[in-house]
């Protein structure tokens, strides 16, 4: 009788242990599934806001005079850590079953120049290729080609300075200065006069400029994208930029 009870007890404990293991595996599966859904809809955490960064190890000798033309460089830095030149967006969205998420997309295909005379920036012209905007979601990027900003139809965004930027004095090597760039911004075929808050830093022959400006989509004739996974998208966002300039004479 004792042997039967012991055997039955062992079987009961074995079943309980099995149920515990099954329960743990189920919880792990649920957690993994939730993470998989989160990763599919959201991906990696959103990149930080733009600040002027001169890439580590990047070195360009300072010109004899800082006056003259400076051109956007696409060979310095990396998009892996966003230390290179880029233009992009930052928009808050609500995703089905997930909640709030900040969508960030950026393009490294940027051309342009600025002209410096003394302590005054007299001209700036920037063009960004929006057809290669990339975020943490290929589905989002694909939607932007056909709807919302419609990069297939409106492939570029441009900014042209309309008023000189008076810096007061040239910043020392390594120092950061703040200013406001007033000019004409064209997105989705619509042009508006805007003021972009910028920060600039120089090291040797490299000038890093970072800036941002709030954008109301309706002002430029488009709305936020929509899809089965998106509950809502704000009707506004932030345009960001990080540009590295080198002296060309």
- Which stretches does DSSP call E strand in 14-109? 68-72, 86-95, 99-107
**Whole-model pTM?**
0.80
CB 162 within 8 A of CB 193: yes
12 and 109 in a single domain? The answer is no
143 and 72 in a single domain? The answer is yes
171 and 243 in a single domain? The answer is yes
36 and 123 in a single domain? The answer is no
- Residue 185: strand, helix, or coil: strand
pLDDT digits (tens, 9 = 90+) for 41-52: 445 577 888 899
Q: Which residue has the higher pLDDT, 16 or 234?
A: 234
141 and 179 in a single domain? The answer is yes
239 vs 237: CA distance, rounded Å: 7
* Average pLDDT for the chain: 84
pLDDT digits (tens, 9 = 90+) for 113-139: 999 999 999 999 999 999 999 998 898
pLDDT digits (tens, 9 = 90+) for 10-26: 555 555 554 444 444 33
Alpha-helix residue ranges (DSSP H) falling in the chain:
2-41, 138-146
72 and 191 in a single domain? The answer is yes
140 and 190 in a single domain? The answer is yes
206 and 157 in a single domain? The answer is yes
Containing structural domain, residue 112: 46-247
Please, is 155 exposed, middle or buried when counting C-beta atoms within 10 Å of its C-beta (0-12, 13-18, 19+)? middle
Per-residue tokens: 166: 């008076």
101-110, 131-140, 167-176, 188-197: least confidently modelled range = 167-176
pLDDT at 38 over 90: no
36 and 66 in a single domain? The answer is no
Domain tally for the chain? 2
33 and 65 in a single domain? The answer is no
212 vs 222: CA distance, rounded Å: 19
32 and 55 in a single domain? The answer is no
The CATH number of residue 189's host domain is 2.40.128.110
1 and 54 in a single domain? The answer is no
pLDDT digits (tens, 9 = 90+) for 59-93: 999 999 999 999 999 999 999 999 999 999 999 87
For the chain, give the percent of residues with pLDDT over 70.
77
């Amino acid at each position: 009788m004792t042997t039967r009870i012991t055997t039955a007890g062992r079987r009961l404990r074995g079943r309980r242990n099995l149920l515990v293991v099954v329960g743990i595996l189920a919880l792990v599966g649920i957690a993994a599934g939730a993470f998989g859904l989160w990763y599919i809809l959201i991906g990696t955490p959103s990149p930080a806001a733009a600040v002027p960064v001169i890439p580590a190890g990047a070195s360009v000798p300072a010109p004899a005079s800082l006056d003259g033309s400076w051109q956007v460089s696409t060979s310095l830095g990396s998009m892996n850590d966003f230390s290179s030149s880029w233009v992009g967006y930052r928009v808050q969205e609500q995703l089905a079953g997930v909640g709030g998420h900040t969508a960030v997309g950026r393009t490294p295909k940027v051309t342009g120049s600025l002209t410096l005379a003394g302590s005054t920036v007299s001209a700036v012209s920037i063009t960004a290729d929006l057809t290669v905007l990339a975020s943490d979601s290929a589905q989002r990027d694909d939607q932007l080609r056909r709807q919302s900003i419609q990069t297939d139809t409106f492939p570029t965004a441009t900014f042209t300075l309309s008023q000189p930027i008076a810096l007061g004095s040239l910043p020392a090597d390594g120092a950061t200065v703040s200013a406001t760039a007033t000019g004409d911004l064209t997105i989705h075929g619509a042009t508006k006069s805007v003021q972009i808050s910028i920060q600039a830093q120089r090291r040797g022959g490299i000038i890093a400029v970072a800036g941002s400006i709030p954008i109301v989509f309706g002002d430029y004739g488009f709305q936020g994208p929509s899809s089965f996974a998106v509950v809502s998208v704000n009707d506004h966002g932030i345009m960001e930029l990080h540009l590295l300039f080198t002296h060309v004479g």
